[in-house]
Amino acid sequence: MSDNELIVKGELELIEQAEFNGIVCDFYVDESGKMFMTRKQIAKAIDYSDSNAITKLLKRRSDNFKGMTASHNLETPGGVQEVSILNRRGVEEVCRFSTKPKANAFMDFVFDTYNDFQDKGKIDRVERQIEEVAKDKKEEKIMKKINLARQQLELSDKRRESIMYNMQIDSLEQELENHRQTRRLDEIEERVNKIEGQKVPDDYCLGYEIARQLNITSKNDRPHSQLIGAIARSIGLKVDKHPPYKDDFIMITFGDGGRGSETYYSPKAINEIKNFFEKNKHDLKFKIKYKRDSKYGNKGDIRKAGYDIGGRRYITYDATS
């Protein structure tokens, strides 16, 4: 496998089927909860005659698709076959570079569908985590009683005592199982309540969506979500809070698999960010020029350009092109 190829953890599971313009689209996840779609289905959804067009796009923009594509054995109507897949970021990048009219609508459809089944996936992961919770004090106490009864059973040479100890062990094991079930249900209810409290409203969006709307791209020609975060921080939004967090402007949730975090912006915050950028972009913009001729550019040419926000410089693609 290439160093730049996407790593898929375990088997892929079909977790969702959703319709886009009359086409049923399959969404898969691996054991880590990351989303994938097949190259063939993406091509069909955005109106390519076959997947070769996407193959050519991936080759032409190979630097943009590092770590986003892979080959994987997948159950198909014709049996198990090796198919080409892309992760969620890869799907969005295909749509961004595609010239097909349906591409932008399909990217929004994938984004919305992913958010819907991500909430379901979080609840499933909570149930698995609870099954692995370490034994609490009450469980340890019951286990000690069971072990003591077993020791006494081994030492006993009388049939009546043996029956008594066996009954005692059976009773304690049932008590242990009941306790585990009760604890599991209580913890599931508590954690599911927390998850439901993190449900992201439909009109909230991530930083890269705002960057896409403002046409702010990084030097790699991708929506510059870091710059959006810097603007949010500079106007006083609390983007550095730990998840879960929510106020009138932002909502911060746990990321995939409980790792990291994702910051969503409310319509109110989106307007604040856009107004700040439009009002100040000319004052914030910087350009660094070559001081002498070099193999990368001539004296006076722009070497780097972007925006200076909060004392940090963010390189942008549009300013350097």
Question: Which tens digits make up the pLDDT trace of 58-108?
Answer: 888 887 788 888 888 887 666 778 889 998 888 988 998 888 989 889 988
End-to-end CA distance of the chain: 34
Looking at the DSSP bridge assignments, the partners of residue 304 are: 288
Please state the rounded mean pLDDT for residues 266-292: 92
Range from 140-154, 184-198, 236-250 carrying the lowest mean pLDDT: 184-198
Place of tokens 């879960």: 244
Backbone angles phi, psi at 85, to 5 degrees: -125, 160
Report d(CA 50, CA 77) in Å as an integer: 18
- 130 or 139, which is more confident? 139
Band the pLDDT of 168: cuts 50, 70, 90. Answer: low
**Amino acid letter for position 54:** I
Using one digit for the tens of pLDDT, what is the confidence trace for 201-239?
889 999 989 999 998 888 777 888 889 999 999 999 998
| Contact indicator for 27, 121 with CB cutoff of 8 Å | no
Q: How far, in Å, are 57, 73, 147 from residue 38 at the CA level?
A: 15, 11, 53
Over the Cα atoms of the chain, what is R_g? 27
| CATH 1.10.10 is held by the domain 13-128 | no
CA distance 292 to 218: 25
Residue 172's pLDDT band (cuts 50, 70, 90): low
**CA-wise closest residue to 93 among 124, 61, 70, 125:** 61
Domain ranges within the chain, ordered by starting residue = 13-128, 133-196, 205-320
How far apart, in whole angstroms, are the C-alpha atoms of residue 78 and residue 114? 27
pLDDT band, very low/low/confident/very high, at 261 (cuts 50, 70, 90): confident
3-state SS, one letter per residue, for the chain: CCCCCCCCCCCCEEEEEEEECCEEEEEEECCCCCEEEEHHHHHHHCCCCCCHHHHHHHHHCHHHHCCCEEEEEEEECCEEEEEEEEEHHHHHHHHHHCCCCCHHHHHHHHHHHHHHHHHHHHHHHHHHHHHCCCCCHHHHHHHHHHHHHHHHHHHCCCHHHHHHHHHHHHHHHHHHHHHHHHHHHHHHHHHHHHHHCCCCCCCCEEHHHHHHHHCCECCCCCECHHHHHHHHHHCCCCCCCCCCEECCCEEEEECHHHCCEEEEECHHHHHHHHHHHHHHHHHHEEEEECCCCCCCCCCCCEEEEEEEECCEEEECHHHHC
Q: How confident is the model at residue 45 (pLDDT cuts 50, 70, 90)?
A: very high
Decide which of 84 and 116 is more confident. Answer: 84
Residues 13-26 pLDDT 10s: 887 888 898 888 99
Phi-psi region of 183 (alpha: psi -120 to 50; beta: other; left: phi over 0): alpha
